[in-house]
Chains A and B, each alone.
Chain A
Amino acid sequence: MGQAGRCILMRGGGVAVLALTVFAQPAQAQLPVMSSFGMVGIVDMPTAFDAPDGRLQVTTSIAAGMVRTTLTFQVTARLSGSFRYSTLPRLAGAPVWRTLYDRSFDVQYRLLDEGRRRPAVAVGLRDLMGTGIYSSEYVVASKSLAPGLQATAGIGWGRLGSFGAFRNPLAVIAPAFATRPGGFSGLGGVPEAGRWFRGPAALFGGMAWAVNERLTLKAEYSSDAYVREVGRGVMVRRSPFSFGVDYQLSPDVRLGVYALHGSVVGLQATVGFDPTRRAGRATLSPAPLPVAARPDRRRDPEAWSTAWTRRADATGILRSQIDLLLAPDGMRLAGLRLGPSRATVRVRNHGLDSGPQAVGRVARALSAALPASVETFVIVPEATAGLAAVAVVVSRADLEALEHHPGGAEAILARTRFLDAVGPAFSTPRPSGLQPAFTWSLRPYAAVSLMDPDNPLRADFGLRLRARLDLAAGVSLTGSVRKRFIGNLNTVRRASDSVVQRVRSDYGLYDRFGDPALETLTLNWHFRPGANLYGRVTAGYLETMYGGLSAEVLWKPVASRLGLGLEVNLVRQRAFNQLLGFRSYETVTGHASAYYALRNGFHVQVDVGRYLARDWGATLSVDREFGNGWRVGGFVTITDMPFAQFGEGSFDKGIRVTVPLGWVTGRATRARSSAVIRPLTRDGGARVAVEGRLYETVRGYHRADMQRQWGRFWR
């Protein structure tokens, strides 16, 4: 049986854990100075500089009761994107003033690098698809004048062209640039390209001076008149000048205080995460077994004899030896077929987050366990129980020769073959007592809801019981039940105002009545229908809101960067109490999907098909994936549901972040923590959530992913 129950103090790669670990890191690239808008900048104004590639930072600023929280990601070396949630007192409503809860999205692109004489030049769009409170565009130039001293000058439109404005110079090209259309189209949430760079323009500028490694002084001349804020008495604007002091508390934390327009004092804090380096200094996992060298064949021909194949108990003995060697790394032997010179092993990896590391350790275990005559190792990792992901063919002589070679990683990769592990050539007799056939866990969970105007932060904490019963090769029964202990998600009283079928927007009712909740209970079948093909059938309570039948087939050659999939779901909406009952709504949804892994670590996915509210359309997802498993990405879904029917936000979109827990703790674990942030949850473009979708299940062991992490083969 598996390991005895252990106790757990904490679950998840939560914010608290991350913050503690990043504090302990040695000094590296410093955080850039951030503006109160959470982008690289001065006080309010942007600069043309970028954060280091791949950086993720969260900035919160408070001034005159206005709170902005911004998540900024340095998408590439030149491109950054920000998502901002602001709570702005008195700025909504007329004639009765209410608090405005605003979401805005910015991008900035650096057009020119800084040279010896030339400044860096960037163009930016602020609040490019929100309801427009921060809507502005700018072109900005920044230059380092002396060590620690930076100067910035720029021209802004929209809000950044509201103070000291002059006629738009672009009107020379086309007179239409002279005026800026007001308001926003429809229900917001669409790019307002018809407004960009239009209307009066104004100049802004500023300086930042790093007094020492920790302290930075900054001053700016702002072209933002704060028209609405001044008009509604939120703040007074005495001067166009703002000043700030920035203090770098640690390599990943910056604190700031600033004086805005001669009348308001603001505070801000930035916490940065750098996915490109590992947190903490703990080891990834203990040292592997060394490759066991075979005796010299000429001097000891006896050791190379194949007489062992005639022993009836040979396979049984070797199987238990291999299993013993794999166990410390959390791997299990799921099948073994032995010939005089070739061994095929199926492995289930529950412990190592890296495919190459898992394969490398299996290869070394085989070198220690198998007789000298076995020259070829065929290692078949299972993507999920019973589903062979790939066959990695390694030569034992190469292992022996390359283990300590400085170019050993590249050399073994060049000699290793990745094959499709389908058909009788790769089948292995299953050990009779492959245990545990029944696995379960009882662990704490947390569910969080952000950005509800009634209460911008809600959360539930409780216990989740998960269980899995393996019935046959590829067939399993899985389920999960959840009980809340403390929390306030059930206090959502804001009813859905959706005018279409409420396929997602009734989540408040699910939160309110679904305790305890049967989250999932499904019968799952994963199988290989043919060469390069993977299949899945899932039936039962698929997710918290839907039950039914889901079937999927994926075409994904092991050496291809392209995958194609088809999925069909027959689903019925579940009762709000999340027990066994159903509501009356049922539908058929399905998608044709294309997946492509670009060479630079970006992943693109396109899904075309029918969504839960019977709307037809397509979803585009782009994720940047780091070699260590971090992922940051976004998605948009456009369907034939008219924006007016969709409601506020016009169409579905969101951003998502995945953190591998091994990155946080430094230990080997396959666990990861994911969060999807949708500015709005509505009913258009919604998909059913099914566990075990094939592409994500399979691709980790395919060539493209394995190549990226191949350095860990010898780890």
Chain B
Amino acid sequence: MIGRVLSGLGLALILGGCAGNDPAGAEIGAIAKAFGKRLLAPAEPARPSAQVLAEVTPARLAELEGPLIIAVLEQGDQTGALALAAVSATGVETWVSGDGVSLSLADGVLVATRGLAVDLMAADPAPLAAAARGKAGPQSRRFRYLDGEDRLVTNTRICAYEPPRRVRIFLFGTARQVVQVGERCTGSGAEVLNDYWLDPSRGIVWQSRQWLGPMGGHIVLHRARP
């Protein structure tokens, strides 16, 4: 007369102790702990990005080695530092943070992220150098994401480039003469606005504000060390 549910891992929240060295299951413990903590005490609010950026002074940058990007995620106003980890055979730079996020930039244009909630798996590069000379026509760019079933989906957008403008920006105490290029991409149900501030003669994008994807909002990248 009785139907049964035989549950492999259980159907209830159980409090209790545990132990073991089985690598296959240890991750669950860590997840549970993090989850429990989140329920009991909300995470500390991140320090405002303006405050963090103000602390990045030329003197402090001089103490560091190697190229460095300071990134600000607009959603949640989180700040992080990224170091250059690899340059691919095709010239794409991959920058990594200490907390397991990486950003891949093709001539300063975001073409991939890893370790975010919804990653940009791949994207076409943008013709920034031509746009800085006012010579870039509308361009079709593909942006690829993983959906909830782990299938790759492609959002194709037409990107147009605004006429370049010469502007002066202040970056960590240094004034820089740069060219500002605006990129407007429309299609696949979204209108995306990106901005780049670059030095075309050196091929360096000193600053940019780029869209991560449907879940991520914009990220602002400041090149702290070339």
Q: A12-B7, A15-B11, A449-B2 are in contact. Are A671 and B36 (CB under 8 A)?
A: no
Q: Which residues of A1-53 have CB atoms within 8 Å of chain B's CB atoms?
A: 1-17, 20, 26
Q: Which of A20, A449, A451, A714 sits near B121, CB closer than 8 Å?
A: A714
Stretch at the interface among A198-206, A253-261, A401-409: A401-409
Stretch at the interface among A156-164, A632-640, A674-682: A674-682
* Contact indicator A287/B29 (Cβ below 8 Å): no
* Contact indicator B27/A9 (Cβ below 8 Å): no
Complex CA distance for A461 and B12, rounded to whole angstroms: 9
Q: Which of B24, B29, B150 sits near A709, CB closer than 8 Å?
A: B150
A476 at interface by CB-CB < 8 Å: no
* Contact indicator B111/A404 (Cβ below 8 Å): yes
Q: How far is the CB of A217 from chain B (nearest CB, A)?
A: 31
Proximity string of chain B (1-42) to chain A, C-beta cutoff 8 Å, 1 when within and 0 when not: 111111111111111111111111111111111011001000
Complex CA distance for A595 and B140, rounded to whole angstroms: 43
- Chain B residues near A277 (CB-CB < 8 A): 147-148
Complex CA distance for A274 and B20, rounded to whole angstroms: 33
Q: Which residues of A650-678 have CB atoms within 8 Å of chain B's CB atoms?
A: 661, 665-678
Of all chain A residues, the one with the shortest Cβ separation from B116 is A283
Q: Which residues of B64-90 have CB atoms within 8 Å of chain A's CB atoms?
A: 85-90
Q: A293-B86, A711-B146 are in contact. Are A677 and B29 (CB under 8 A)?
A: no
Q: How far is the CB of A447 from chain B (nearest CB, A)?
A: 6
* Contact indicator B7/A447 (Cβ below 8 Å): yes
Q: How far is the CB of B155 from chain A (nearest CB, A)?
A: 11
Stretch at the interface among A135-143, A434-442, A573-581: A434-442
- Chain A residues near B86 (CB-CB < 8 A): 290-293
- Chain A residues near B190 (CB-CB < 8 A): none
* Contact indicator B114/A288 (Cβ below 8 Å): yes
Complex CA distance for A330 and B151, rounded to whole angstroms: 23
Q: Which of A20, A351, A667 sits near B23, CB closer than 8 Å?
A: A351
Q: A8-B18, A444-B18, A715-B114 are in contact. Are A671 and B9 (CB under 8 A)?
A: yes
Complex CA distance for A674 and B122, rounded to whole angstroms: 34
Complex CA distance for A675 and B10, rounded to whole angstroms: 9
- Chain A residues near B185 (CB-CB < 8 A): none
* Contact indicator B100/A286 (Cβ below 8 Å): yes
* Contact indicator B1/A680 (Cβ below 8 Å): yes
* Contact indicator A281/B117 (Cβ below 8 Å): yes
Q: Which of A404, A669, A677 sits near B92, CB closer than 8 Å?
A: A404
* Contact indicator B20/A5 (Cβ below 8 Å): yes
Q: How far is the CB of A465 from chain B (nearest CB, A)?
A: 9
B207 at interface by CB-CB < 8 Å: no
B61 at interface by CB-CB < 8 Å: no
Q: A276-B148, A283-B117, A507-B4 are in contact. Are A440 and B22 (CB under 8 A)?
A: yes
Dominant secondary structure of chain A at its interface with chain B: loop
* Contact indicator B8/A673 (Cβ below 8 Å): yes
Q: Which of A10, A283, A293 sits near B88, CB closer than 8 Å?
A: A293
* Contact indicator A627/B29 (Cβ below 8 Å): no
- Chain B residues near A211 (CB-CB < 8 A): none
* Contact indicator B1/A448 (Cβ below 8 Å): no
Q: How far is the CB of A76 from chain B (nearest CB, A)?
A: 15
Q: Which residues of A258-310 have CB atoms within 8 Å of chain B's CB atoms?
A: 274-278, 281-283, 285-288, 290-294
* Contact indicator B13/A10 (Cβ below 8 Å): yes
- Chain B residues near A677 (CB-CB < 8 A): 3-5
Stretch at the interface among B52-60, B101-109, B163-171: B101-109
Proximity string of chain B (115-143) to chain A, C-beta cutoff 8 Å, 1 when within and 0 when not: 11111011110000000000000000010
B96 at interface by CB-CB < 8 Å: yes
Q: A12-B12, A405-B122, A461-B12 are in contact. Are A449 and B4 (CB under 8 A)?
A: yes
- Chain A residues near B20 (CB-CB < 8 A): 5, 439-443, 466
Complex CA distance for A408 and B88, rounded to whole angstroms: 14
Q: Which of B5, B9, B117 sits near A450, CB closer than 8 Å?
A: B5
- Chain A residues near B101 (CB-CB < 8 A): 286-287
The count of A-to-B residue pairs whose CB atoms sit within 8 angstroms is 306
Complex CA distance for A484 and B86, rounded to whole angstroms: 53
Size category, B interface: 35 or more
Q: How far is the CB of B122 from chain A (nearest CB, A)?
A: 5
* Contact indicator A281/B100 (Cβ below 8 Å): no
A170 at interface by CB-CB < 8 Å: no
Complex CA distance for A96 and B143, rounded to whole angstroms: 69
Q: How far is the CB of B33 from chain A (nearest CB, A)?
A: 6
- Chain B residues near A332 (CB-CB < 8 A): 23
Q: Which of B3, B26, B89, B117 sits near A400, CB closer than 8 Å?
A: B89
Complex CA distance for A350 and B22, rounded to whole angstroms: 9
- Chain A residues near B147 (CB-CB < 8 A): 276-277
Of all chain B residues, the one with the shortest Cβ separation from A10 is B32
* Contact indicator B88/A6 (Cβ below 8 Å): no
* Contact indicator B122/A408 (Cβ below 8 Å): yes
Q: Which of A17, A440, A507, A711 sits near B21, CB closer than 8 Å?
A: A440
* Contact indicator B31/A667 (Cβ below 8 Å): yes
Proximity string of chain A (452-469) to chain B, C-beta cutoff 8 Å, 1 when within and 0 when not: 110000010101001010
B210 at interface by CB-CB < 8 Å: no
Q: How far is the CB of A141 from chain B (nearest CB, A)?
A: 32
A241 at interface by CB-CB < 8 Å: no
Complex CA distance for A57 and B13, rounded to whole angstroms: 21
Q: How far is the CB of A653 from chain B (nearest CB, A)?
A: 11
Q: Which of B3, B30, B114 sits near A451, CB closer than 8 Å?
A: B3
* Contact indicator B114/A661 (Cβ below 8 Å): no
Complex CA distance for A453 and B2, rounded to whole angstroms: 7
* Contact indicator A406/B13 (Cβ below 8 Å): no
- Chain B residues near A17 (CB-CB < 8 A): 13, 35
Of all chain B residues, the one with the shortest Cβ separation from A11 is B10
A494 at interface by CB-CB < 8 Å: yes
* Contact indicator B152/A409 (Cβ below 8 Å): yes
Q: A287-B101, A287-B114 are in contact. Are A13 and B9 (CB under 8 A)?
A: yes
* Contact indicator B4/A2 (Cβ below 8 Å): no
A712 at interface by CB-CB < 8 Å: yes
Per CB-CB distance, the 10 closest pairs between chain A and chain B, nearest first, are A286-B100, A441-B20, A446-B10, A277-B148, A627-B149, A287-B114, A12-B10, A287-B102, A290-B86, A8-B29
B interface, CB within 8 angstroms of A: 1-33, 35-36, 39, 85-90, 92, 94, 96, 99-102, 104, 106, 111-112, 114-119, 121-124, 142, 144, 146-152, 154, 215
20 CB-based A-B contacts, threshold 8 Å: A5-B20, A7-B33, A10-B14, A12-B11, A14-B11, A15-B11, A15-B12, A16-B12, A292-B86, A293-B86, A330-B24, A404-B92, A439-B21, A448-B5, A669-B27, A671-B28, A677-B3, A679-B3, A711-B151, A714-B122
Q: Add 11 more A-B contacts to A406-B124, A442-B17, A507-B4 (CB < 8 A).
A: A3-B23, A7-B18, A9-B33, A275-B148, A286-B115, A330-B23, A446-B7, A461-B12, A669-B27, A673-B11, A675-B6
